[in-house]
Structures are given as C-alpha cells and as structure tokens.
C-alpha cells in the first residue's frame, strides 16, 4: 500500500493526476492525456492494417442490454447504474429539505434506462447482432470507451472510471483464437518498444461469490483469459495492463450472433487499460516525459 500511496501522491504533486476527493476518480493533466494519445497511435500502427471497423460508444449503455448481458450475475460488486430525480414540486421540496438536514437525498432518485458501461465491448454484441449474419471471414471491431467499475482504491492503477481500448473479433473458433494469439505477440512487442518489462500469465475475472469461484477456476482451466502484467505500484503484485480473452460461443449464443452458415459465432477480444499503461510508463521512466529514454520518446512521438 505504501508504494501505491507514494506513487499516487507524486502524481498529485506533479499535477499529472488531479484529486477529486473520491478514491479512484481523478482528473488528468494535458501531459497525461498526451501520453495516452501517443500510445493509442502506437496501437493504431499495429492494428490499422487489419481493417477493423471503428465504433465509439458512450460510457453509458442500454439498461436492457446490460441486464441481458448477465453482468449482474457475475460482477454485481462492480456494477454502476444511472439514477435521476423523477418527482414533482412537492417531491423536490422534500429532496431539498433532506439535503439541508444531511439526510440521504438519493432515496428520491429512481433508476433510469442507462447503466454505466463496464467494458468497452458490452454494447457491441447487440449492435452487431442487429445487422444479421456475420461473414464467414469474420468481423473485427475497434472500440474505445470510458468504463466504470465500483472498486475504490488508493492504488492509482485501480480507477473507478477509466478508458479501455479494445479490438473485438467475431468468427469461427480458429479465427478468433488466432486473432487472440496475434495480439498477445503484438502486446509484448509494443511494450518492449516503450521500454517496459512484461510477462503474460493466465488469469480469471473477479467473479462474485461462491459460484464465482467455480467460474473463475473453469476460466483458468480452459485458458480463456490471459493478462499482460507490468510492475506499476508493486513488483510482487504486478498490474494487468492488457487482457486477452476468448469467450468461446458464450456471447454469440446470448446475442444470436451467427455466421453465414448458421453456426454460432465465437468471439475474442484484446483490451488495453489506457490509464494503467500511462501509469506504467510514468512509474518506470519517471514523471518528467522530457527525461524519458530517447528510444521510448521516438516510439511514442516520432
């Protein structure tokens, strides 16, 4: 924890991150954003020739889609929903009085039809399903979105609102697993170019509860999830800065994503945690970008 707080304090002092009074919710300086923009250009250099369709969703998604996704079954502890005041004049007066008295005024709010996006790819599956069958050559999509996960922490690499860049592949099992392996190789190469030591290890998602432990074990046993790990706030407990996920036909079956031959599409995705990668660069190379190694600066800014 001391290393986490130390890095966070230095990021605040340097102005790279801006404190808001809520753990895991930070403003970012222009310099911090410039590092993210430069890294995204590096992602583009590696992925642009693949011809992915670029789609950008907002950080909120259709509540009905969110419910159907099954996220609440697996990760209720991380979910966030949007609530709003829906009352009349009398209700408004009661709300203001409650605020003045220091009460819980949020009880006057009701759930809207928007959930906070938990992962950049979640709105994609119903969107593509509406288009009809996927070509036998597969579909490839380039996404980026702010995401929300309720896990407040002093660890600057574990933010509640963060950006995720993703490539999502839909097609046959062979097609999507080959896509995943390609990006695992690319991920290692990209991190070498920016001077970061990494390792790739098998992983699992933070499934909730007793049943979740079984799901996590199954995920690991089937090698469905790998993570690219980098020391950010700890050398012992490295931070997952990229993930490589094979969903088998789970999303295809849930959303009726079918190939032209009628078979259920398999899906896989690679995700870049953009804030985490920026933090890894600052933690490893220092908080002054002008002093970063020339080779790293040339890779990111030319």
pLDDT of residue 188: 97
* Predicted confidence band of residue 212 (pLDDT cuts 50, 70, 90): confident
pLDDT of residue 143: 98
Kindly tell me if the per-residue pLDDT of 2 is higher than 50.
yes
143, β-bridge pairs: 55, 166
Determine the straight-line distance between the first and last CA of the chain, rounded to whole angstroms. Answer: 36
Kindly tell me if the per-residue pLDDT of 1 is higher than 70.
no
Q: Domains in the chain, please, with CATH?
A: 2-81+115-301 (3.30.930.10)
* Predicted confidence band of residue 207 (pLDDT cuts 50, 70, 90): confident
Kindly tell me if the per-residue pLDDT of 216 is higher than 90.
no
- Strand-strand pairing, 109-116 and 81-85: antiparallel
Q: Mean of the pLDDT values across residues 279-301?
A: 98
pLDDT of residue 4: 66
Least Cα distance to 14 among 25, 33, 28 occurs for: 28
pLDDT of residue 180: 98
Cα 258 to Cα 256: distance, rounded to the nearest angstrom:
6
Q: Are 200 and 241 in contact (CB under 8 A)?
A: no
Q: Mean of the pLDDT values across residues 273-292?
A: 98
Q: Mean of the pLDDT values across residues 218-245?
A: 92
Cα 244 to Cα 269: distance, rounded to the nearest angstrom:
6
**Distance of alpha carbon 151 from the chain centroid:** 13
Instruction: List pLDDT tens digits, range 151-199.
Output: 999 999 999 999 999 999 999 999 999 999 999 999 999 999 999 999 9
pLDDT of residue 134: 98
Averaged pLDDT score across all residues of the chain: 95
- Is 0.75 surpassed by the pTM of this model? yes
Instruction: List pLDDT tens digits, range 81-127.
Output: 999 999 999 999 999 999 999 999 998 899 999 999 999 999 999 99
For the CA atoms of 168, 199, 287, 167, the dihedral, rounded to the nearest 10 degrees, stands at 0
Cα 168 to Cα 170: distance, rounded to the nearest angstrom:
7
């Amino acid at each position: 924890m001391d290393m986490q707080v130390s890095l966070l304090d230095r990021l605040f002092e340097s102005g790279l991150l801006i404190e808001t009074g809520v753990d895991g919710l930070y403003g970012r300086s222009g310099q911090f954003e410039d590092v993210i923009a430069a890294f995204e250009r590096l992602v583009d250099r590696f992925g642009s020739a693949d011809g992915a369709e670029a789609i950008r969703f907002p950080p909120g998604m259709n509540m009905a889609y969110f419910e159907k996704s099954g996220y609440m079954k697996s990760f209720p502890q991380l979910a966030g929903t949007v609530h709003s005041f829906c009352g009349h004049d009398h209700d408004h007066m009661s709300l203001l009085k409650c605020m003045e008295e220091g009460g819980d005024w949020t009880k006057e709010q009701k759930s809207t039809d928007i959930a906070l996006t938990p992962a950049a790819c979640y709105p994609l599956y119903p969107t593509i399903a509406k288009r009809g069958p996927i070509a036998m050559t597969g579909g490839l999509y380039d996404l980026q979105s702010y995401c929300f996960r309720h896990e407040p922490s002093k660890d600057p690499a574990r933010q509640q609102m963060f950006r995720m860049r993703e490539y999502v592949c839909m097609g046959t099992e062979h097609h999507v697993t080959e896509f995943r392996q390609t990006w695992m190789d690319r991920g290692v190469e990209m991190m070498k170019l920016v001077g970061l030591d990494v390792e790739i290890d098998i992983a699992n998602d933070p499934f909730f509860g007793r049943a979740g432990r079984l799901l996590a074990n199954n995920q690991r046993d089937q090698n469905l999830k790998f993570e690219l790990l980098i020391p950010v706030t700890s050398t012992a407990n490295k931070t997952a800065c990229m993930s490589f996920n094979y969903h088998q036909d789970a999303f295809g079956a849930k959303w009726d994503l079918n190939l032209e031959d009628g078979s259920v599409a398999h899906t896989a995705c690679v995700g870049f945690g953009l804030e985490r990668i920026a933090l890894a660069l600052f933690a490893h190379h220092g908080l002054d970008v002008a002093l970063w190694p020339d080779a790293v600066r040339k890779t990111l800014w030319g």
